[in-house]
Amino acid sequence: MNNSLLTINRIKALLDTNIWLSTVTHDLLLVPKTVKWGEIFVTADVATEQPRKLRNKTQEKSDAIYDALKAIAVMSKEGRVILYRSNETQFEEMHLRRPSLRGTELDAFSGIDVEFVHGPLRRDFTITAHSSREELKGEWYEFLGNIRHPRFLELRTAIPAKKHTADLYHIWTAEHNSLDCYITLDQKFVNAVALPKPIETSVIVCTPTEFLKWAASRP
């Protein structure tokens, strides 16, 4: 296959913020350990790598997600998929707690290339030392609530729940940039996109595991 055809067939996927916060497979925790020092036994807290359990997930489900993300990382390194983050997913991540071992060998996405896209609309915001997560989130939802673009209003009409508004903007971002997929860990949003009636969009909305199945079925 020539390089131009390979480029055309690459899958372009926008990743939800919750994906970027879930690529690290272990946490570094302080675990008490007792060692013998001469004739004395000493107990001290030692930094130890422990398997990480994702929020609201069992360890088994967390491990399945890690396996899927590792497979997506391999696809990225092989040039079969281009992964994207947007200005808004990056901003969302800035005021959330990031895994301490990001970028290490325990990060499934360590060493992958990531492209950047802008959303359909630009906004200005200022972050100061006094900015709180609640204030920043409030500004974000105020921005979303004031959008009157017909396409975004169409998406909001299809899924009116406020908790999904940000994800709908990310779908719009993917559409705006001609991306193929929006990958998220929010199963409730994936379900809302499909039921009771699938929303009309060119973007595939899926979890990492569903993405792998969809990608494998492509011609």
Asked if residue 46 is part of any domain, the answer here is no
CB 28 within 8 A of CB 100: yes
Residue 7: predicted pLDDT: 52
CA distance 18 to 30: 25
Asked if residue 44 is part of any domain, the answer here is no
Instruction: Give the pLDDT mean for 138-164.
Output: 93
Tell me the whole-structure pTM to 2 decimals. 0.86
Which DSSP helix (H) or strand (E) runs through 36? Answer: strand 26-37
CA 195, distance to chain mean position in Å, is 22
Asked if residue 34 is part of any domain, the answer here is no
Asked if residue 37 is part of any domain, the answer here is no
Domain count, the chain: 1
pLDDT tens digits for range 39-56: 787 777 667 788 899 988
Asked if residue 39 is part of any domain, the answer here is no
Instruction: Identify the CATH number of the domain in which residue 182 sits.
Output: 3.40.50
Average pLDDT, whole number, for the chain? 88
pLDDT tens digits for range 15-41: 999 999 999 998 876 667 777 777 787
pLDDT band at 1 (very low <50, low <70, confident <90, very high): very low
Domain around 192: 3-27+54-217
Tell me what percent of the chain is helix, strand and coil, each rounded to the nearest 5. 40, 20, 35
CA atoms within 13 A on the CB side of 149: 15
**At 122, is the secondary structure helix, strand, or coil?**
coil
CB 86 within 8 A of CB 116: yes
pLDDT tens digits for range 112-137: 999 999 999 988 777 776 777 788 78
Position of tokens 């926008």? 14
CA distances from 143 to 32, 108, 148, 169, 197 (A): 47, 33, 10, 11, 27
